Structure 1
Amino acid sequence: MQESLTRDARLALDLALTIRHDGHGGVADDLADPAGLTAWVRAHPDAVPEAAAFVADDASLTAVRDLRAAVRALFAHAVRPGEPSRADAARLLPVPDAVARLNAAAARTPTIPVLHWPEGAEPAVRRNAVDGAHELTAALAHAAMAFLAGPDRQRLRACHAPRCVRYFLKEHPRQEWCKPSCGNRARVARHHDRHRTVQA
């Protein structure tokens, strides 16, 4: 991924990519349980303040998975007229429902103002979150909104290599797949299809 990719774009893509090919022809979910979400948040220290201390529970897992479904539905909408990821094709939320879910998650930012005035420094007011689960979903929703409304959305594509379910940002005009291994699988599949057609 390009170094110039914004923090929001990277976070939104990384959330969508928690659904991935499992290496055996199926789909894996990195957010299958609270431990998976805990590990994911800790690997993304910019997601929320104190990410290193974050511990997911069932409520935060459900909230983030619901948000991810909305983000992937909006990604599928963004890649039109191209096809969405195969992982999403049969279970996409309608776009208005996905937008409503994203907006509702973004609005869940219960914060309180807290004055900080260290010795020898100017006073500053910071906003502290009251609820960590809501803070996480709100931060992820804000990142997804910034990505979807920003210029990087124009480069968003779904990878259509066999067994791949990823979205990616197109880095150059000829790029068709999310990574070289997907391109190799796609070429091999086309080769086998051509030979089957010739033999038939």
Structure 2
Amino acid sequence: MAAPAHTLVLDLALTIRHDGHGGVADDLQDTEGLTGWVRERADELDAAPGVRTFSADPDTLAAVRELRAAVRSLFARAVQPGLPSPADAQRLLPADLALDRLNTAAAAVPVVPRLEWPPDGEPAALSRPSGAAGERAVLVAALARAAVAFLAGPDRARLRACHAPRCVRYFLKDHPRQEWCKPSCGNRARVARHHERHRAA
């Protein structure tokens, strides 16, 4: 059963992360990284056949990274008037280019609804490719459609960029007072504010 669209699209965006040493790490730096990332999400990518044995090639890596750049640019737009993630601030795509890239990827593989009903389970409506398509196109289209569903859905209003020191993550705000993606970021932000106040005094 597929996970909610926000889970998959946030996972894609969060492949850009703080490296623990003051820099930014990219979990999709190479084909091995993409291979592992896709295989770990096989259940979420149920519309992309072959994901359990997926093996990335350089063209697929480039296509997924291009889609991720579009998603993160649209995330930056979604959090306005707030600031984007610091990792994106200097490399945002223009909104029209990001939208075009996302929509083109989502449309590359038409899908049809399909009813699946295992003998010992409940029926489920799934989206499946309507014809033959390459593994790369199916994967990128599935990721793009998850992004479309998220960005057009109600959870988009909860999207925030974490601005704790060294953090580059986007997250969904779960309660009104939440400012950071996780407690450790909140702790770092409070320590940084404390040092800044004492430096100014």
TM (norm. structure 1) is 0.87
- Distance in 2, matches of 1:24 and 1:162, equals 12
Q: Which residue matches 1:57?
A: 57
| Structure 2: runs of 5 or more not aligned | 113-127
1:169-192 deviations in Å (ceiling 9; x for gaps): 000000000000000000000000
Partner of 2:120: none
Give 4+ residue runs of structure 1 displaced > 4 Å after superposition. Answer: none
- Partner of 1:132 in structure 2? 135
Q: Distance in 1 between the 2:175 and 2:64 partners?
A: 31
Contact residue 13 and residue 168 of structure 1 kept, 8 A: yes
Aligned-pair RMSD on alpha carbons?
2.1
**1:34-54 CA distances to partner (integer Å, 9 max, x unpaired)?**
100000000111222331111
- Distance in 2 (alpha carbons) for counterparts of 1:177 and 1:110: 38
Aligned residues: 184
How far is 1:108 from its partner?
Answer: 1.5
Report what 1:76 is aligned to: 76
* Equivalent pair of 1:129/1:135 in contact (CA under 8 Å): no
Tell me if 1:38 matches 2:41: no
Which structure has the greater CA radius of gyration? 1
Q: Secondary structure at the match of 1:160?
A: coil
Q: Distance in 2 between matches of 1:42 and 1:104?
A: 24
Indicate if the aligned counterparts of 1:78 and 1:156 stay in contact, CA closer than 8 A: yes
**Higher mean C-alpha deviation, range 147-156 or range 126-135:** 126-135
* 2:122 alignment counterpart: none
Gaps of 5+ in 1: 1-5, 113-125
1:135-146 equivalences under 5 Å are 135-146=138-149
TM-score (norm 2): 0.87
Whole-Å separation in 1 of the counterparts to 2:111 and 2:72: 27
